[in-house]
Amino acid sequence: MTRIDAKFASLKEEGKKAFVSYIMAGDPDLETSLEVMKGLPAAGVDIIELGVPFTDPMADGPTIQLAGQRALDGGQTLQKTLDMAAEFRKTDDTTPIVLMGYYNPIYSRGVDRFLEDAKAAGIDGLIVVDLPPEEDVELCVPAQAAGINFIRLATPTTDDKRLPKVLQNTSGFVYYVSVTGITGSQAAQATEVGPEVARIKAKTDLPVIVGFGITTPEAAKTIAGVADGCVVGSAIVKEIAEGKPVAEVLDFVKGLAGGAHSA
């Protein structure tokens, strides 16, 4: 059982929905992003998605693209991101960490070496948005064998014919993208998301977490209410981009987590 599986089991016992937060590693700098990361569990975050900055982030909207650029300009690398996770693990051995990014930096490092290093750093799951199920032998299958969950994205365009393929080797949870398009581009609507989550849950026992287009505690509550939880990324990254003190960023996160947990 991974930390992700354990987290969902304990949330289920408590009758609570999951709140997942995303931050970009190294944004605005390594020290600040590590400080934010360390404060997330106390702010109510159940699972941390840690973005790996990449030069060509095709699924990301302007907010996260700019965060990645800031991180890269500051010298953030895949190695520094793994080091950041390892540093977090020195004081927190229970909060799951999911690395979210693109395949190129992993491919450049070499899959076997990456998985060994990720496991050693305390990484629990991977979301690699540019690796479709047809490429499962590249990373997904080796990751599962290494005890790291491979989390797949389902979208409004994932029809009933495609869905079984998407779910085939997925573990940890299913990430449902609530809108068609890039991150941070439009608001998620519970009336549209609810039936889609139900459709996915009819085909899998995995939790379904909804992300994209959630920016307020009210939206977090509404969307978590029709799923097993929700993810907020761009809204948190925006707070960081505005140069707000870490305490203020974490206070903002606490409000979102409270929304999700009250669903």
- 205 labelled catalytic: no
Q: Number of C-alpha atoms within 13 angstroms, CB side, residue 135?
A: 11
- 49 labelled catalytic: yes
Residues in the chain: 263
Q: Give strand pairing partners of 232.
A: 21
Catalytic residue among 27, 46, 60, 239: 60
Q: Give strand pairing partners of 141.
A: none
Helix axes 234-241, 62-73, angle to 10 degrees: 50
Residue tagged 């290494």 (tokens): 146
For residue 76, what are its two tokens? 């953030």
Q: Give strand pairing partners of 149.
A: 125
Catalytic residue among 27, 46, 49, 117: 49
Q: Are 19 and 219 in contact (CB under 8 A)?
A: no
Cα–Cα distance for residue pair 263/255, rounded to 1 Å: 13
Residues forming the active site = 49, 60
